[in-house]
Structure 1
Amino acid sequence: MEKLLSTKRELKFVPECYKLPPDCRPGNTIVPICEFIPVIDFKEEQPKLIHQIIHASKQYGFFQLINHGVEEKLLKDVLDVAKEFFELPGDEEKERLCCDMNHVKLNNRKLLTSIDYMNESLHYWRDALRLPCLPLQNNIQFWPQKPPIFREVIGSYSVEVRKLSMRILDLISKGLGLENGYFYNKSELCNVHIITLNHYPPCPDPSLTLGLPKHSDPNLITLLLQQMDGLQILKDQQWFALKPFPNAFVVNVGHILEVIINT
């Protein structure tokens, strides 16, 4: 049975099941900071804003968004409550949804370590809590009750992020010359909204493991609230670390949206 990394206090070494094969390890390689991903101001005039978003989506599949309308205090509260959640003491495992640690879906919420712990031979150095958000009133009752403000903060955040995501998609649809409300009218594209809280505990030897493997997102769009430059982007066969802009969202174009944009 899997056990959260965040409950393994003061690990002095990387367990064997987390050590990647030598040719897959990051080692001590210094990854250059990415300087080319655009930082887009959401307060720009709409024609310019649409052009910037479409260009960044086609050229890079990523951009950072500032002045997006989600309050700075809420962003801070989200980061704080997520940190507090993963730091709850081990004797509160049930409060942390560890009843779901065998990847049995309970109302589609899932607390896990790595990616698919029970079916993996090697694991990745992260804990995560996945929370379905639509409809919010049906799902929030199954979210953690500790910390006490968890549901209030993450619930408010889910509403704001959902609104922002739909505004971005609306601008993209206009830039592509699609019908008004294209994404609103395609309920099969927008009826899934999941918040994932990722936690990467201190690692005694980061040269041996990774938080996540290289991957791309299969969805429409991902908004990432990033605290440090752990996200890496592949461009022209080279990896770059994306340094977070203060209070910005990293916007990642998923597979489905990529197909729509490039059709």
Structure 2
Amino acid sequence: MVHPAQGQMVQDLAAGGELGAPPSRYVLREKDRPVAAAGAVQAAQRELAAIPTIDVSRLAAESGDDVVDDGAKAAKLRSALQSWGLFAVTGQGMPEPFLDEILAATREFFHLPPEEKERYSNVVAAADADGVGAGGERFQPEGYGIDRVDTDEQILDWCDRLYLQVQPEEERRLEFWPEHPAALRGLLEEYTRRSEQVFRRVLAATARSLGFGEEFFGDKVGEKVTTYARFTYYPPCPRPELVYGLKPHTDNSVLTVLLLDKHVGGLQLLKDGRWLDIPVLTNELLVVAGDEIELFALLGVADHEQVFMAPVHRVVTSERERMSVVMFYQPEPHKELAPSEELVGEERPAMY
């Protein structure tokens, strides 16, 4: 069974521009509302102008590459992951028009008629143990809709999404891959291939930044990583200060690669107790450390030092629509998650 609110799309609520305020299901408690104090946004933008930028074309992904990854580049990457947990990426080999096409196709999908999008709904017919329809419905993660609703008290996020497993290829459920717009499937295929190259290159360079061989983390995640693509649409909100686009969270991934809206910001990072705006990126991607790379690289509790920290982040809304395309990279299912043996010992025991 699914909660009655599961089928309510935020985009439908916002359609027409006549909504004076978000429905109560979306309104945060006053203490949780993302209201910045006067002048705080400007200060955040000044500080975030220094968000690290890494040219991944200068990070060798394979021993045969004609690229030299010197100590300075490795130190910059490690510093970015230690200090911020994220960084902007240039030199990713994806032309700006290609990235623009992905965002345009994303927008086109979300602006299709509701009945077309509902063909890919994440609310599906329930089945009994024999696979026969049981007369009810159930939520499943893949497909179009909103995130799972469990209780009447749950505060909902101001967004709709299309969530797809894109790797391994043999595990794709193509019945949830939209046929319209016609370009979307091909663009997603190509973007999946190219973004994995970014993931692998960053993963190898991250291992080298710790003094290990470039396959150190690659061996831990495996050759056939599990990868999910999340296309998220944040409709215009009449009272952005009352809601979250996405609640504060860390990513359940090794690394996350984000293609952000080029015109409207909204992603925020919690750093040193303050919420800071991530600036709008044009031809850059954003790479974010996930919970699993934090676990892989964990040091001990003796000095409470960790090599990397998965950053807490959230999305706030505005009176303009916004989109993003996010790739979550997870290890092969059979891979055991544990702190790296090379990084723990008697002086630095594993935290868990």
TM over 0.5: yes
Q: Encode CA deviations 1:131-155: one digit per residue, 9 max, x unaligned.
A: 1111225416231111111111111
Q: TM-score, normalised by structure 2?
A: 0.68
Residues of 1 paired with 2:241 and 2:156: CA distance?
A: 14
Q: Which residue of 1 aligns with 2:251?
A: 217
Equivalence for 1:57? 81
Q: Structure 2: which amino acid aligns with 1:231?
A: L
The match for 1:252 among 281, 288, 309 is: 288
AA aligned opposite 1:244: V
What do the CA deviations read for 1:167-202 (whole angstroms, capped 9, x no partner)?
110111122222342233224596211111111000
Give, as a single letter, the amino acid of the residue that structure 1 aligns with 2:80: A
CA distance in 2: counterparts of 1:121 and 1:174, whole angstroms: 43
Contact 2:168–2:224 (Cα < 8 Å) also in 1 = no
String of CA shifts for 1:30-76, please: whole Å, max 9, x gaps. Answer: 53212231122224452133221111011111111112112222211
The one-letter code of the counterpart of 1:255 is D
Structure 2, unmatched stretches of 5+, are: 59-67, 126-136, 298-306, 308-342, 344-352
- Larger relative contact order, structure 1 or 2 (CA cutoff 8 Å, min sep 6): 1
Paired residue secondary structure (1:55): helix
Amino acid at match of 2:294: E
| Alignment map for 1:102-141 (pairs within 5 Å) | 104-105=139-140, 109-113=142-146, 115-119=147-151, 121-139=154-172, 141=174
Q: Tell me the residue number matched to 2:269.
A: 233
Quick check: which one's helix share is greater?
1
Q: Say if 2:81 and 2:87, in contact at 8 Å, map to a contact too.
A: yes
Question: Does 2:206 match 1:183?
Answer: no
Higher strand share: 2
Task: Determine if contact 1:221/1:253 at 8 Å carries over to the other structure.
Answer: yes
Q: Is 2:192 aligned against 1:169?
A: no
CA distance in 2, matches of 1:52, 1:28: 31
* Aligned equivalents of 1:144, 1:91: Cα separation in 2: 12
Separation in structure 1 between the aligned mates of residue 34 and residue 288 of structure 2, nearest angstrom: 23
In structure 1, distance between residues paired with 2:102 and 2:120? 17
1:221-251: CA deviations, max 9, x gaps?
A: 0111112321111111111101033211111
Question: How many residue pairs are counted as aligned between the two chains?
Answer: 260
Deviation at 1:112, TM superposition (A): 2.6
Percent identity over paired residues: 25
Q: Deviations over 1:105-124 (max 9, x none)?
A: 2xx523232x3224352111
SS in 2 for 1:214: strand
The answer for unaligned runs of 5 or more in structure 1 is none
1:26 equivalenced with 2:59 (yes/no)? no
Aligned to 1:206: 240
1:42-53 matches, within 5 Å, as: 42-44=56-58, 45-47=68-70, 48-53=72-77
2:11 corresponds, among 6, 29, 44, to 6
Determine helix, strand or coil for the equivalent of 1:130: strand
CA contact (8 A) 1:183 1:189 kept: no
